A and B are shown apart, each in its own frame.
Chain A
Amino acid sequence: MQTTGLHKLIELINLTESTYILRIEKKDMQFEAGQHILLGKADDNDQREYSIYSGTNDEYLEVLIKEVVDGSVSIHLKNLNPGDLLKVEGPLGFFGLSKDKIESGKFLFIASGTGIAPFHSMVKSNPNLNYKILHGIRTCNEDYGKEDYNSDRYIRCTSRENGCDFEGRVTDYIRQNDFDNDTICYFCGNFKMIKEAMDLLENKGIPGSQLHAEVYF
């Protein structure tokens, strides 16, 4: 059931200089992991889409935001204080796990930057999920929510720093590794990464019908 309403900000959690989590009142919003909301300041008509970062059973809603230089929403959201009101519309979208595959499916989640948000929600909402995450980040400190993943299942692919899990982009990791053909793949984040990763996995024999993308630009 979709709703539009004003939700109080509970907490703003800074993760890096430019990335933060907004923890917001959930009210009675029910969503499926992977869905997004439209979010903006209560007194502003400008809204942006943000994937829900929190799990479906959490008592609050969270979104993971990267501040966009010259942006007209993310920069203002960062200046909010607990108790301030946000306009929230949703949940929206169809980027979710097939219900009949959650128990038995083998999932590969490929994200760049804050594109990890829907996968964080999927993992938190489904503790027994059989998944692997490839997270494309520049430096190790961008491994948002690392503590919520099983360390064997979360691979940081860093493009500008050594010493994490894999040195290089997610696409390099895909090139150098094999994946079972029945793997169900979800992509979220930068458009170029998604396009390249989809092509690579399809060439490795994963059918197009098992590739699902959410573009963040």
Chain B
Amino acid sequence: MSKKIAFKTLGCRLNLFETDSIASEFSKNNYQIVDFSDKADIYVINTCTVTSMSDQKSRRVINQAARRKKDGITIVTGCMATNYKEKLQDNENIDYVVDNDHKTSVVSIAEAHFNGEIVNDEQFQRDLFKYEPAKDTFHTRSFIKIQDGCDNFCTFCIIPKVRGRASSRPVEDVLNNIRKVVEYGYKEVIITGVNIGRYNHEGTNFEGLIEKMIEIPGDFRIRISSIEPDGYSESFFRLFKHAKLAPHMHICLQSGSEEILLKMRRMYTAKLFKEMALKLDEMYPGFSLTTDVIVGFPGETEEHFQETVEMAMSIGFGHIHTFKYSVRKGTRAERLPDHLDEREKTRRGEIIRVLSDETRLNHRKSFIGRTQRVLVQIILENGYARGFGEHYIPVIIEKQNLDTNKFYDVDIVAINENDEPTLIGKIRN
């Protein structure tokens, strides 16, 4: 009888990609993938440590697995596993701790365990990119890892410590990965990495890589996920003219205050960010720009915070992912003075969240009367189809008997103004 395995992924899209690939390997080796709430022989938890909240969530999931596993095993990997490796190795609820450098060895570690061998991750070769393209994944879209690590050393960020220095996957490997998943039938690929804008492999930079990607034949589109706002040129923006490249980027602002950006050691100014946002909107009206904002960075005054609020209002982001600043041990910001009270951070976070809801609704409303190319992801109970347009806005198509994982050209006729404002569309005749 095949063994059952359950996965839980926390954090970023890079983790999602890596879990997909590992799960696909287990599936090929005849393991049965079950829901994380079900009884399994192996629980794999791909953790995150970007904030203290991420640590808490990761710990909670580890404890859930410990309660369920009985005779099974728990394998903890990802950024929290890397950051607190020794501590987690002492946790009796965890059987194996696998750091990011050796994440691709999870399958081998599990196989060895059931063959009566006890191995540890460091017996395997370090490999950041040995992830096979996944055929069956937990998602209808395929994540493609192009890069790992970061050299920016923003003062708040623990990622350079847990993901290491920047490293780029060879161009041909990336392109072959895309060709393969398109062959598997995926219609949308999402470019992931830690700092994808800094991609550079043997002279090919991020822009050059995207140029090669959009030349790959097939009916699919490419979405750039989270990216840092530095190093763009106008020629990069022109690539969005190509139908394959979705007009959407999640560009991390973090703060609208020049002073706080300097203290964060970000490599752009608020002014340049705004100019870039306006340029994108001028070139591609309605361009979907989403962002991250950190509230309560050490020394952030009310005036600094208001600069962020004003900037968010003037740009009109499609969505703002708000983080309360939390101390990450060993970062430069840990040693900065004037750390803020937790309640004040919560208050500021709430203000940004409310503002995000407003700007998101306004941005989405502007699509009424326009068309979207919707990739259907699920069929709802009433038979209507739901999916995402090229701007990464959810759309319900009011028609039955449509197929999932298929593109439909849709006229947007209305919007549902609920918690997750959703566009309503009709198939174009």
Contacts and interface: CB of A to CB of B under 8 A. Distances in A.
Interface of A: 2, 49, 89, 92-94, 191, 194-195, 198-199, 208-209, 211, 213, 215, 217
A208 B272 contact: yes
Given A195-B258, A217-B332, A94 B267 contact: yes
B272 A215 contact: no
Interface of B: 151-153, 165, 230, 258-259, 262-263, 265, 267, 269, 271-272, 332, 336
Contact of A191 (B153, B263, B272): B263
B271 A208 contact: yes
A195 B269 contact: no
B336 A2 contact: no
11 contacts: A89-B165, A92-B153, A93-B153, A94-B151, A194-B262, A195-B259, A198-B269, A208-B271, A209-B272, A215-B262, A217-B336
Contacts of B259: 195
A35 to B, nearest CB: 9
A5 B393 CA distance: 48
Contacts of A199: 258
B269 A208 contact: yes
B265 A215 contact: yes
Contacts of A211: 269
A2 B160 CA distance: 14
Given A194-B262, A209-B272, A2 B165 contact: yes
Contacts of B165: 2, 89, 92
> Closest 7 interchain pairs by CB?
A92-B151, A2-B165, A208-B271, A215-B265, A208-B269, A208-B272, A215-B262
Contacts of B263: 191, 215, 217
B269 A191 contact: no
A117 to B, nearest CB: 16
Contacts of A194: 262
Nearest to B333: A217
A80 B21 CA distance: 47
Given A2-B165, A94-B267, A217-B332, A191 B151 contact: no
A39 to B, nearest CB: 13
A2 B258 CA distance: 31
A118 to B, nearest CB: 14
Contact of B153 (A2, A49, A195, A198): A49
Contacts of A208: 269, 271-272
Nearest to A202: B271
A97 to B, nearest CB: 15
B235 to A, nearest CB: 15
B262 A213 contact: yes
Given A93-B151, A217-B332, A191 B271 contact: no
A208 B258 CA distance: 12
A195 B230 CA distance: 19
Contacts of A209: 272
Contacts of B152: 94
Contact of A195 (B262, B272, B336): B262
Contacts of A89: 165
Contacts of A198: 258, 269
A103 B272 CA distance: 26
A209 B274 CA distance: 13
Nearest to A45: B330
A194 B336 CA distance: 17
Contacts of B267: 94
Contacts of B332: 217
Contacts of A195: 258-259, 262
B149 to A, nearest CB: 10
Query: Which one of B151, B259, B263 has the greatest number of beta carbons of chain A within 10 Å?
Result: B151
A48 to B, nearest CB: 9
A63 to B, nearest CB: 16
A60 B336 CA distance: 32
A93 B151 CA distance: 6
A209 B258 CA distance: 14
A198 B230 CA distance: 18
B338 to A, nearest CB: 12
A94 B267 CA distance: 9
Contacts of A217: 263, 332, 336
A96 to B, nearest CB: 12
A94 B152 CA distance: 8
Nearest to B332: A217
Contacts of A213: 262
A89 to B, nearest CB: 8
A68 to B, nearest CB: 10
B328 to A, nearest CB: 15
Given A208-B269, A215-B262, A215-B263, 11 more contacts: A92-B151, A92-B153, A94-B267, A191-B262, A195-B259, A198-B258, A209-B272, A211-B269, A213-B262, A215-B265, A217-B336
A191 B336 CA distance: 12
A198 B332 CA distance: 22
Nearest to B265: A215
B392 to A, nearest CB: 29
A93 B230 CA distance: 13
A60 to B, nearest CB: 23
Nearest to A68: B335
A49 B152 CA distance: 12
A213 B258 CA distance: 12
A211 B262 CA distance: 12
Contacts of A93: 151, 153
B158 to A, nearest CB: 14
A194 B261 CA distance: 12
A93 B153 CA distance: 8
Nearest to B166: A2
Contacts of B153: 49, 92-93
